[in-house]
């Protein structure tokens, strides 16, 4: 898909990866961008940056967990600013906790934003794309959608689910000339991970790098865009030697009793 002259809607566009994607789409010649997130002030700041590139911008300050409002505002947005050719589902939240100490409200928020929010907006936009027989949808998953990591159980579960959702829609919507793909960033330096304890040995990438990989991937028919050698290595290792990767992940995970867990996994006596 060539983005030149097209209209795109990006969720999670107020900061981080979504903001970088919106700016990259503007640089690549998008005609109009619709930006969705909760924080109206930050959205307005991103809009100014994009307008300076000569691209039309519409900001939609929305909480994706408020489903009725999302449906009303997006239906109006399509009517007033559509048709939308590209939907990038990037909004997401992540909480890190050992599973036994995890909190239900945080788990519910991850499911509500990462999955129900994505489902709601995708259904609304995909129906209209089907009517115009054209569209592309990019769902932002994660490397953690391929390789589940200790301390991130629900987040990983939502990101695995996004890959299943994407694969199913890809088959189902092809008949309407709607292409669906997933973007799988690995650790990226954004607000999301500043609060998290990082996994050892993982080198973060910039949001701009992720955005460039997405735009490059739009032209290709690949169902999934994996970014960086670390991601390719992890996915390859998971396929060829899953037990080895499980051990590496336990060693890398930010858990207090890392050594003890590692020995347990190896069935060695615990001293
Ligand atoms: N950073 C990483 O290492 C990494 C790695 C792999 C995948 N990802 C994925 O990439 C995506 C973007 O992450 P990021 O790192 O850029 O995170 P971020 O900097 O924390 O940005 C998250 C974005 O989602 C929006 N958002 C959160 N809750 C929302 C809600 N209820 N309604 C509407 N918008 C909401 C936020 O905007 P407001 O706060 O203004 O609402 C913000 O724009 C996520 O799906 C994440 O899972 C991130």
Which pLDDT band holds residue 271 (cuts at 50, 70, 90)?
A: very low
Cα 125 to Cα 138: distance, rounded to the nearest angstrom: 12
pTM (two decimals): 0.92
> 13-62 pLDDT, tens per residue?
999 999 999 999 999 999 999 999 999 999 999 999 999 999 999 999 99
Residue 192 lies in a domain: yes
What residue has token string 């930006």? 35
Active site residues: 155
The pLDDT assigned to 62 comes to 97
Residue 254 lies in a domain: no
The pLDDT assigned to 231 comes to 83
Residue 91 lies in a domain: yes
The mean pLDDT value for 217-242 works out to 85
Q: How far is the CA of 160 from the centre of ligand 1 (A)?
A: 16
Residue 106 lies in a domain: yes
Residue 2 lies in a domain: no
**Ligand 1 contact via 138 beta carbon (within 6 Å):** no
Reading phi first (left if > 0) and then psi (alpha if -120 to 50, else beta), residue 201 is in left
Neighbouring residues of 260: CB distance < 8 A, sequence distance ≥ 6 = 270
Which pLDDT band holds residue 236 (cuts at 50, 70, 90)?
A: confident
Q: Lowest-confidence range among 41-50, 197-206, 262-271? A: 262-271
The mean pLDDT value for 239-257 works out to 75
Mean pLDDT, the chain, rounded, equals 90
**Ligand 1 contact via 185 beta carbon (within 6 Å):** yes
With 80 as the cut, is the pLDDT of residue 267 above it?
A: no
The pLDDT assigned to 78 comes to 97
Q: How far is the CA of 15 from the centre of ligand 1 (A)?
A: 7
Query: What's 74's domain CATH number?
Result: 3.40.50.720
Q: How far is the CA of 89 from the centre of ligand 1 (A)?
A: 10
The pLDDT assigned to 258 comes to 53
Identify the residue whose C-alpha is closest to ligand 1 atom 45: 92
Host domain of residue 58: 7-235
Task: Indicate the length of the chain as a whole number.
Answer: 271
**Ligand 1 contact via 180 beta carbon (within 6 Å):** no
**Ligand 1 contact via 228 beta carbon (within 6 Å):** no
Residue 191 lies in a domain: yes
Q: How far is the CA of 78 from the centre of ligand 1 (A)?
A: 23
With 90 as the cut, is the pLDDT of residue 241 above it?
A: no
Provide DSSP, 128-188. Answer: HHHHHT-EEEEEE--GGGTS--TT-HHHHHHHHHHHHHHHHHHHHHGGGTEEEEEEE--SB
Residue 190 lies in a domain: yes
Total structural domains within the chain: 1
Residue 193 lies in a domain: yes
């Amino acid at each position: 898909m060539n983005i030149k002259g097209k209209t795109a809607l990006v969720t999670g566009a107020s900061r981080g990866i979504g903001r970088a994607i919106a700016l990259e789409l503007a640089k690549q010649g998008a005609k109009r961008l619709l930006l969705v997130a909760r924080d109206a002030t930050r959205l307005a700041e991103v809009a100014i940056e994009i307008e300076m590139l000569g691209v039309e911008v519409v900001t939609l300050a929305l909480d994706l967990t408020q489903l009725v409002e999302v449906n009303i505002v997006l239906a109006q947005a399509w009517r007033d600013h559509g048709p939308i050719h590209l939907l990038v589902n990037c909004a997401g939240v992540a909480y890190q906790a050992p599973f036994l100490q995890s909190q239900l409200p945080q788990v519910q928020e991850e499911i509500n934003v990462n999955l129900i929010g994505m489902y709601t907006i995708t259904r609304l936009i995909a129906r209209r794309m089907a009517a115009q027989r054209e569209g592309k949808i990019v769902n932002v998953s994660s490397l953690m959608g391929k390789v589940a990591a200790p301390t991130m159980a629900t987040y990983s579960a939502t990101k695995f689910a996004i890959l299943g959702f994407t694969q199913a829609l890809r088959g189902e919507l092809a008949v309407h000339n709607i292409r669906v793909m997933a973007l799988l960033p690995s650790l990226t330096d954004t607000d999301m991970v500043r609060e998290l304890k990082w996994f050892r040995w993982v080198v973060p990438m910039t949001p701009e790098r992720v955005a460039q990989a997405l735009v490059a991937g739009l032209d290709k028919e690949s169902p999934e865009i994996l970014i960086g050698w670390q991601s390719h290595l992890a996915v390859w290792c998971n396929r060829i030697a899953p037990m080895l990767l499980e051990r590496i992940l336990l060693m890398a995970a930010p858990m207090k009793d890392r050594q003890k867990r590692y020995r347990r996994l190896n069935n060695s006596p615990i001293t």
